[in-house]
Amino acid sequence: MLTVAAIDLDDTLLRSDASISARTLDALRAWRAKGHRIVIATGRPRRTIDTVLPLELSDAPVISYNGAEIYAKGQKLYDNLLPAAAARTIVERCLALAPDAEIGVEIDNVLYLNRPSKRPRLYEVADLLELTHQPCAKVLVFADELAVLDPLLAELPAGARALHSGRYRFLQILGETVDKAEALRFLVTDWGLTMANVVAFGDDTNDVDMVRMSGLGVAMSNAVEEVLAVAQRVTTTNDEDGVALVLEELLNSALA
């Protein structure tokens, strides 16, 4: 039985204007009314999630940073961070290979950048080499030509992996085993469930394993090819209530 809905945020649950439709909210309420669970699984940092989630979902567990952390009701349940030694090596190599790039590290829900940015986000400018004596959720690199980082990607330090989507002009480097699917498995196991009990919704490369490994993996029709290739079901777009459509069908069937 499918009793957990794991849902990505951007371009999945959220419409293009970052809102959630009334129909989708009704479907989420109906899902919960049946005693089922909702998990938000996103690449976003925790600080930007509450700004887009309705208050009634504020108690839902949140997988953030692509699976590096799980929070519920303000409490950290899990983390899987990039080791400090790996983070420092990565920052050193990025500074050498792409001296003009914006480089950032996410530590304790704060984004630290190596230089002032014109991008609309909250951040602090800091000496990243001084900060990377501690683990971090991710290292980010914003560069016009990411190809300059190929030597780093060819020889990433132990404990690290790269994640890149063709939709965006930035690179994320995470802990080697960080993934939404791994974090989700931890969560459902704690509830006495398995991934077979999950219906997962996603659209981008960071959703591939979560969609592939769930009992029902659903790709939005606006998803990248990597997600479409592993999904068992393709729904309509995020602007056409794609999440709501599947949840309504499940609630009207014997599967949920």
What's the CA gap between 40 and 116, in Å, rounded?
31
pLDDT of residue 98: 92
pLDDT of residue 169: 77
CA pseudo-torsion sign 114, 115, 116, 117: negative
Q: What is the pLDDT along the chain (256 residues), one digit of tens a residue?
A: 999 999 999 999 999 999 999 999 999 999 999 999 999 999 999 999 989 999 999 999 999 999 999 999 989 999 999 999 999 999 999 999 999 999 999 999 999 999 999 877 789 999 999 999 999 999 999 888 888 999 999 999 999 999 987 777 789 999 999 999 999 999 999 999 999 999 999 999 999 999 999 999 999 999 999 999 999 999 999 999 999 999 999 999 977 7
CB neighbour class for 254 (10 Å; exposed up to 12, middle 13-18, buried from 19): exposed
CA pseudo-torsion sign 167, 28, 211, 44: positive
